[in-house]
Amino acid sequence: MTGRPDDNLRGFGDVPRGGADRPLTGLLTELAQETTTLVRKEVELAKAEVSEKVTQATSGAVSLAAGGMVAFAGLIFLLLALTYYLATMMEPWLAALIVGGAVTLIGIILVSMGKSKLSAKNLQPNRTIATLQDDKRWAKEQLGR
């Protein structure tokens, strides 16, 4: 016999199958393959984006730490000079208390700003989330046909 294996199952009036009229099993197989490919690509995108965000956060943290250490050394001497200057106008303990309170307040403000920059919202994989939402919308459209 020549031709496809199911040629002998066709009746007299049956029309041979073309590319547009594939069997259900073929369509389901293709759907499974495309779904697998889609999921694989989404996972690859998520991995790449998370890696990018981790690198970004690490780089920011290292720069922040290095700059903070250098600035801290200079700040100590400036605060010491300010304390000595204020001590010429008032009691030394009061000058130290004023400088210490002001520095603590500035430190609290800077910590809260840094904390907000490292929040989970800023580190979300936004492109992956957007493409997953697009895929969900597309899948609903395809199922609705």
Average pLDDT, integer, range 110-133: 82
Q: Could you tell me the two tokens for 17?
A: 């199958």
Task: For the chain, give the mean pLDDT.
Answer: 82
Which residues have C-beta within 8 Å of that of residue 48, sequence separation ≥ 6? none
> What are the phi and psi torsion angles at 63 (to 5°)?
-60, -40
Q: What is the pLDDT of residues 28-65, one digit of tens each?
A: 888 889 888 988 998 888 888 888 888 888 888 899 99
Amino acid identity of residue 34, one-letter, is E
Q: DSSP secondary-structure letter at 2?
A: -
Amino acid identity of residue 112, one-letter, is S
pTM for this one? 0.40
d(CA 98, CA 134): 57
